[in-house]
Chains A and B, each alone.
Chain A
């Protein structure tokens, strides 16, 4: 899924980097220094509904044509994450212990229309 271009109306991935220093949390999250908080937004027109990952390809073009020629309920398609990955965190717990853990589904990698 491509990142959103400015003024992109269609469903795409919006990339935001969050620095833990900006949150004031650098005292307890040791690593990493920040992470990529991405989210999905944009319009899902009827012909794109149910097509996760709207990359221009032969298959997506055929899929879009099929959708365009078939009645599709309006307003029921959402721009949602279709692929996520975990984030490895090293942090201090309330007892001052160092904890390393992988938090699942933290980083959105791809978006698509539900």
Chain B
């Protein structure tokens, strides 16, 4: 800061003792990082993802993927998984706090299919909510054929996820045998690793909204 007629503070001033200077530098570093991340305080992590799950998820992501300026790439692990004991159906819950000033442009759901996969199955993903489905307003986000065990990446339409402003995103996974396949669908627990080291995760990419973009689109 420089006031008219005053001497610039960075030009001189008393020299601090090394310890005091170090303390000042650390305090500056804290402020700089929080400001850069638009945070008011450091986040308190109550439920950190397991280290092994984290490492596996990071390995799955594209190497050298570029995040646009001021954009973010987010990996969100399914926090709660509710599975039906009778059908091949499961609900994955994600807690997201993407800034509203950001625009979601890429979403992929990563699922690890267990080696117990009995045969080819069709996996369908909907935004969660029986009411939505009854009213016919549900949107099929993705459909995918599970033919091999291992990791599967399902691209989701980002438009289908944009309306989740509550910060909680629930996805319903339904699987069923393909037509002509007489094999009964297994239970979800037999098909997917939902809570272990290979738990499902969402990969999201956001970028800051361009001012006037909505207006231009409407026009």
Contact = CB atoms under 8 A, between A and B. Distances in A.
- Pairing of A with B: yes
Nearest to B75: A98
Contacts of B44: 94
Given A22-B26, A23-B26, A96 B12 contact: no
A106 B35 CA distance: 10
Interface residues of A, number: 43
A76 B167 CA distance: 49
A9 B120 CA distance: 74
A51 to B, nearest CB: 14
**Size class of B's contact patch?**
35 or more
Nearest to B205: A100
30 contacts: A25-B30, A25-B33, A28-B42, A37-B32, A40-B10, A41-B11, A42-B11, A44-B8, A76-B2, A76-B4, A78-B11, A91-B43, A92-B49, A93-B74, A95-B96, A96-B79, A96-B95, A97-B75, A97-B76, A97-B95, A98-B58, A98-B76, A99-B72, A99-B74, A100-B74, A101-B67, A101-B73, A104-B70, A105-B36, A106-B36
A103 interface: yes
Contacts of A11: 10-11
